[in-house]
Structure 1
Amino acid sequence: MTHINLEPQGETVAVPVHSRIPVDTGQVLVQARGLQKSFYHRSILKNVDFDMHRGDITVIIGKSGSGKSTLLRAIAGLTDPDAGEISIDGKTVFEGTTRTKDWAEASANVGMIFQTYTLWPHMNVLDNLTLAPRKTRGIAASEAKDRAESALDEVGMKQHILSRPTQLSGGERQRVAIARALMMKPKLLLCDEITSALDPPVAAEVLDVLRRLKEEDGIAVALVTHDMAFASKAADRLVFFHNGEIAVNATPEEAFDNCDNPDLKKFVDAVRF
């Protein structure tokens, strides 16, 4: 066995088991089987199997181009796999090359947050949060405002409800982006490198928000990140992508303390510096 020294935190790695199992509507929130995706004849996802349980934090790591973000985008419906199957909250939403009739209902339980915030600079925080619920779901202005106040309170940003994004720091804007995702009351948040542009102390605060959402609201989080300290402390599962495949799927303790995967060890050693 090879021990990975995280400095200051040590943690987990194991070999994934790829087996087709029925969706467990009691615990399994997301299940993907045999996902394949290519771009310009380059294979990005190679027969990927992936599960997430309700209320879990799953940290996904790996080199750029290894398939991490493509997996999140497939679950969010932002890209269609070339083959495979995806189930969300007990409903099959993607099969073969087709979205099923259950896609719209199931996808309402999924929120996605990006590195770039994607906030409208000419709108204040309140309008950024309420625009989509009012336009796409027909939610009344008063209810949308109540939801916005509640979501902002959850991320510690209620005092900035009338601020413009340009008046906020990067960490504050990312908290607003999280609050906006909470407006639809999701069961799952997909977070793609949301702290990579932030200073470490600010990134730690944003990640702490996600941990509280998991602990207090039972929201599952799938997070692509290079923050090994967060992975070691807060993740329920750690998934390591290598060349389009899940090379490791384990608890952080298994992945970081009892690692016999040389590619994971190499990756962790590289991102520590």
Structure 2
Amino acid sequence: MKTLESTAPFHTEIGGVLVSARGLQKSFHGRTIMRNVDFDMHAGDITVIIGKSGSGKSTMLRALAGLTEPDEGTIDFDGVRVFEDQQRTEAWADKSFHVGMVFQTYTLWPHMNVLDNLTLAPRKRLGMSGSEARDRAESALAEVGMKQHILSRCTQLSGGERQRVAIARALMMKPRLLLCDEITSALDPPVAAEVLEVLRRLKAEEGIAIALVTHDMAFASKAADRLVFFQDGEIAVNTTPELAFTRSDNEELNKFIDAVRF
């Protein structure tokens, strides 16, 4: 069976603007969750997104991933308009191949082994052959240090190992943008540090742009290229980690960092 790769070529080089969102707004049941959000991401950067629960962080990630449709605003990806007029454009069908998302709860199939979890979507969505899918799975697992577990059942793995498998599964589609929503919040600090190190390596070696919602301020201060602080549905601060942690004039950001850092 012929592999059906994305028909859209990828244009954005490292350092260029990969994602550009303007005027994003979203309400649920009369409550505004996200308002007036303008947001850019550069290829090869790690953007850490922080803020209180319900401040709009995860809603923005889901909007970028195509899992939530904003009520207003536009989204450009790789220089192409993929969302406007409250709906995805025709270009999204091709560009969505370049976007991966990893969730806090792994979302792995417990009755399948690691190999089957990784190859299910590529074989069904891309028409990939079994041998080609296995080759890509081995490569993706090697990138996250899990190649030796390719035939293990997910129920046999630790939390950190499952999260690495979830990242490898997202890599199966060869994304240029990886969205991570609280992926280390249920892990012990040493294990979380290992998972976050995997993301740093992917950024450095593969040039993947990563948007990461987290409460891990140690990672935010060391690994992020940009730090975005959500406050009441809006982006209140968008700056470098150095400025956010040392010279921010936003008192709510300072209070948030102090509260979660210790």
State the TM-score bracket (shorter-chain normalisation): over 0.9
Q: What is the alpha-carbon distance in structure 1 between the residues aligned to residue 184 and residue 80 of structure 2? A: 31
> What's the counterpart of residue 192 of structure 2?
203
1:39 counterpart = 2:28: yes
1:96 Cα offset (Å): 2.1
> What's the counterpart of residue 183 of structure 2?
194
Task: In structure 2, list runs of 5 or more residues that go unmatched.
Answer: 1-10
Q: What is the alpha-carbon distance in structure 2 between the residues aligned to residue 205 and residue 165 of structure 1? A: 18
1:185 counterpart = 2:183: no
In structure 1, what residue type is equivalent to 2:186? Answer: A
1:73 counterpart = 2:62: yes
Task: In structure 1, list runs of 5 or more residues that go unmatched.
Answer: 1-23
1:272 Cα offset (Å): 1.7
Percent identity of paired positions between Structure 1 and Structure 2: 79
Deviation per residue, 1:158-179 (Å, 9 max, x gap)? 0000000110000000000000
Q: What is the alpha-carbon distance in structure 1 between the residues aligned to residue 185 and residue 85 of structure 2? A: 34
236, 256, 260: which one pairs with 1:267?
A: 256
Instruction: Give 1:96-175 correspondences, 5 Å limit.
Output: 96-175=85-164
1:25 Cα offset (Å): 4.8
Runs of 4+ in 1 over 6 A off after TM superposition: none
255, 258, 261: which one pairs with 2:247?
A: 258
In structure 1, what residue type is equivalent to 2:250? Answer: N
In structure 1, what residue type is equivalent to 2:101? Answer: M
TM-score under structure 2 length normalisation: 0.94
For the 8 Å contact 1:88–1:107, the answer to whether it is kept is no
Larger RCO (CA under 8 A, 6+ residues apart): 1
1:259 Cα offset (Å): 1.0
TM-score under structure 1 length normalisation: 0.90
In structure 2, what residue type is equivalent to 1:254? Answer: L
In structure 2, what residue type is equivalent to 1:250? Answer: T
1:107 Cα offset (Å): 1.1
Deviation per residue, 1:29-85 (Å, 9 max, x gap)? 001000000001100111100000000000000000000000000000000000000
CA distance 1:157–1:237, shift in 2 (3 Å)? same
In structure 1, what residue type is equivalent to 2:195? Answer: V
Q: What is the alpha-carbon distance in structure 1 between the residues aligned to residue 235 and residue 216 of structure 2? A: 18
In structure 1, what residue type is equivalent to 2:131? Answer: S
> What's the counterpart of residue 81 of structure 2?
92
Aligned residues: CA RMSD? 0.9
In structure 2, what residue type is equivalent to 1:101? Answer: E
| Number of residue pairs the alignment of both structures matches | 250
Q: What is the alpha-carbon distance in structure 2 between the residues aligned to residue 88 and residue 147 of structure 1? A: 25
For the 8 Å contact 1:129–1:148, the answer to whether it is kept is yes
In structure 2, what residue type is equivalent to 1:213? Answer: L
1:262 Cα offset (Å): 0.3
Give SS of 1:108's match: helix
Q: What is the alpha-carbon distance in structure 1 between the residues aligned to residue 241 and residue 87 of structure 2? A: 34
> What's the counterpart of residue 7 of structure 2?
none
Q: What is the alpha-carbon distance in structure 2 between the residues aligned to residue 55 and residue 226 of structure 1? A: 22
> What's the counterpart of residue 53 of structure 1?
42
